[in-house]
Amino acid sequence: MEKQGYRPHTVGSAVRSLKSIARRVSLLDVEAVKAYLANATFTQSRKEVLADHLARFYRYRRIPFDKPHYTRVETLPFIPLESEVDQLISGMGRKTATFLKVLKETGMRPGEAMALRWRDIDFEKTTVNVSPEKSSKARQPKISNTLLAMLNRLPRKHAYIFRCQETDPIRSLDYQRRCFNRQRKRLAEMLQNPRIDAISFKTLRHFKATMEYHKTKDILHVMQVLGHKDIKNTLIYTHLVNFESDEFVCKIARTVDEASALVESGFDYVTEVDCVKLFRKRK
């Protein structure tokens, strides 16, 4: 896979998947492996990915393998409430909370956030340079002053912001994910809200895309935010914006400065009553 140009994290994921299967059945017993996949409780999408990993492994070992066919079932991603995302961030440790805040505000992939260096942050222009992965486009999203303050509180041990070790991005991301999963589970139990335990790193990318489309109704803008090259990957978020039954926070603005501050915080203008402008934002 490395010789074919796969990224280190993709290679690591394939190796871990094969090791997981090998703990349950011998990889050299092709029929036993196929039986294991058939009876496993994984989703069809996960089985399809595992079958691809196995096909590469057997091709490498020159073992005949008739790859099973699994039909991928397209499902809509889970989009939490913003209040739930904020509760999750506030309940994390300093470094994990900052990492989650970056994902929430920029829509980066976890690997892109893990690759951030201090030189990528422009503290004057309040922007961050994103080095793309998975054939995405480079981009430069704006970030809030709150996030800048959180970044400034982190120690600067080396060139990277979040990596534990400069030379091992895979291990760093896996470690970050394990720490996050433990803290998330504990927080969900404490708040008695199982929805919080369903929020993953990838969920925050979906959250950003959905909120941007809800705010702008501009699918090309969302495509640019996510760094997609194919608009087909972005169109899914048009099906997620249906907030009529959701609860909202309502704010009022009497001056231009107050209105500007609300818009910058993600509030949408609704109407004007008695010379007071009303704004709302989904909870």
pLDDT tens sequence for the chain (283 residues): 888 888 777 888 899 999 999 999 999 999 999 999 999 998 888 899 999 999 999 999 999 999 998 877 777 788 898 899 999 999 999 999 999 999 999 999 998 999 899 999 999 999 999 988 767 788 999 999 999 999 999 999 888 998 865 555 556 778 888 889 999 999 999 999 999 999 999 999 999 998 888 888 888 888 999 988 888 888 877 766 665 555 677 888 888 888 888 887 778 788 887 788 888 876 6
Q: Is residue 161 part of a domain?
A: yes
Verify that 197 and 88 share a domain, yes or no: yes
User: How many separate domains does the chain show?
Assistant: 3
In sequence order, the β-bridge partners of residue 282 are 248
CA distances from 239 to 79, 157, 210, 236 (A): 12, 43, 9, 6
Verify that 52 and 146 share a domain, yes or no: no
Verify that 164 and 272 share a domain, yes or no: no
Give the number of other CB atoms < 10 A from CB of residue 55.
Answer: 14
Verify that 31 and 102 share a domain, yes or no: no
Q: What is the pTM of this model?
A: 0.74
CA distance 255 to 267: 15
**pLDDT value at residue 130:** 92
Phi, psi of 142 (to 5 degrees): -80, 150
CA distance 204 to 29: 40
Joined together, the tokens standing for residue 4 give 């074919």
Q: Is residue 224 part of a domain?
A: no
Please list, in sequence order, all residues whose beta carbon lies within 8 angstroms of the beta carbon of residue 212, skipping any fewer than 6 positions away. 107, 221, 222, 225
Please list, in sequence order, all residues whose beta carbon lies within 8 angstroms of the beta carbon of residue 162, skipping any fewer than 6 positions away. 95, 98, 99, 113, 114, 116, 172, 176
Segments forming the whole domain that contains residue 257? 248-282
